[in-house]
Amino acid sequence: MTPVMYARLRAALDFVLEAAGKKADAKEAIATLVSDHRAFFRRGNTNELRVAGVTATCTHSEGDALLAAWRSNAIKHLLREGRNVDA
């Protein structure tokens, strides 16, 4: 993972963790990821959220469950890369 991609992923994950801590609305958090963190979000039979090379999909929810899945995938991705995760 390049330093730039790491920085993008870490910034997005930090935002998601902060939003979760504040119990922010997941749909608003996803909208902020799209506008401020260059995320891709698609609604459909399978909802998809992709930020900084990490993708999550969810057929159940376009909000809380999708955001939680992305957060989990982002943490796993950082751990696989040998990066410290203070989550």
Provide the residue range defining the domain that includes 50. Answer: 3-80
Q: How confident is the model at residue 61 (pLDDT cuts 50, 70, 90)?
A: confident
Question: Which pLDDT tens digit goes with each residue over 30-50?
Answer: 999 999 999 999 999 999 999
Please check whether residue 85 lies inside any domain of the structure.
Answer: no
Q: Is 86 domain-assigned?
A: no
The answer to whether residue 87 is domain-embedded is no
Number of domains in the chain: 1
> Between β-strands 47-51 and 54-58, what pairing exists: parallel, antiparallel or unpaired?
antiparallel
Establish if 10 belongs to a structural domain.
Answer: yes
In what order do the strands lie in the sheet containing 47-51? 40-42, 47-51, 54-58
